[in-house]
Amino acid sequence: MDSKIYDVIITGAGPGGTSLAASLANTGLHVLILEKQRFPRYKVCGGGVTRRALLKMPVDISPVIRDQITTFVTVEGDQEIQEFKHKTPFIYMVMRTEMDQLLAKHAVDCGAELKEDAFVIKVVEHNDQVNVYTRNQQYSCRYLIGADGVNSIVAKQSGLMSGRRKALALEYELKCDRITTVNYKNKVVIDYTSVPDGYAWVFPKNDILSAGIGSYSLNQKQMSRYLLSFLDKRKLSGYLLSAKGSFLSAGGVRQKIMTQRTALIGDAAGLVDSFAGEGIYYALWSAALLAERLKETIKDGHRDAFAAYQNDVDQLILPELRALDQFGREFYKDPKFMQKMVARFPKLLNLVFDVLQGKRDYFKLYKKFIIVKSYGRFLNLKTS
């Protein structure tokens, strides 16, 4: 048993957890990160860091950026439908093994402690502290933060996120020949039409391509079949480095994400874009909100500040996630019509680029989409 009582214990060393740890440790708070695996560890993720997420990073991640995306391509199987180009990068591609390790090192450099191979199995909250049990150790803290993803042990042990919604994702990492990787350089390829209630993707990372699918309605066996079909249609092959499946949270519905001394951030709190599956930005955003509340509570002695985090998320993050959830439901009803609509009104995608670069938010974009969608129906845009 570790007799030390930490100010804050954070479970999970993803971008949200480590950025929160760095922010708190920089102010002199005693912070412990419990990571269930040992670095470098694999994380199922397309590896796309949007420009607005990049701006929230606690440290420069340029050493681990493998590609910069300026081109967005939509396809239907082997047919290219539309190509959209932007003057400046709107997504930065990384390997999560590399980026997460970089962010964890930064947190430690700021003064946080990191325990690897520390799988949390039990959480007990008391009036004045929280006890956290791993497989071979016990720790205590004043406040516990669950940054441990979609299958959050902290959420389950604390009675939070009982209404979590999930999507299933499957991703292959392929080491490809030079001709193939050059062909995909600086571009993301998305197929919204070949996967029910989801989409297929190809993301470039120098000599590695991440190809995967995400869906709300397919099971595990179906996921493999659909992904292999997508790869076959794209004539995409290479040396298979990894094949991993995972669940993703689907945001957009208000959930209870905290108790008296425990709070959730990022994917653990269900703060994920349910349309595109982006989670890094919301992990960083929620971590920044909670960091300020913890500093007010612990450093400044404002006892009620911690409890305000729930309202912060409800008022600042949830409206955007609700808009994205509504957009996703509309989009996946008829993705071919939606692609026709974007082709007819290309300024819509320019607005999306603005969002990805942090110049506007999805909530305002969704309002414009509703107007344009109605006009598109009026024009009787064909889906075939």
Taken in order of first residue, the domains within the chain and their CATH numbers are: 5-45+96-163+251-318 (3.50.50.60), 68-90+166-249 (3.30.9.10), 334-378 (no CATH)
Close Cβ partners of 358 (under 8 Å, ≥ 6 residues apart) = 51, 52, 55
Q: Residue 72 — very low, low, confident or very high, per pLDDT cuts 50/70/90? A: very high
Neighbours of 354 (CB within 10 A): 18
* Cis amide bond preceding 63, omega within 30: no
For residue 49 the two structure tokens come to 């860091």
**Quick one: DSSP state of residue 268?**
G
pLDDT tens digits along 100-139: 999 999 999 999 999 999 999 999 999 999 999 999 999 9
Nearest to 290 by CA among 269, 274, 272: 269
Neighbours of 276 (CB within 10 A): 21
Provide the whole-model pTM: 0.92
Q: Residue 365 — very low, low, confident or very high, per pLDDT cuts 50/70/90? A: low
Q: Distance between CA 151 and CA 255 in Å, rounded?
A: 15
Nearest to 249 by CA among 274, 230, 232: 274
Q: Distance between CA 310 and CA 257 in Å, rounded?
A: 7
Q: What does the mean pLDDT of the chain come to?
A: 90
Please tell me the predicted confidence (pLDDT) of residue 78: 85
Q: Residue 361 — very low, low, confident or very high, per pLDDT cuts 50/70/90? A: confident
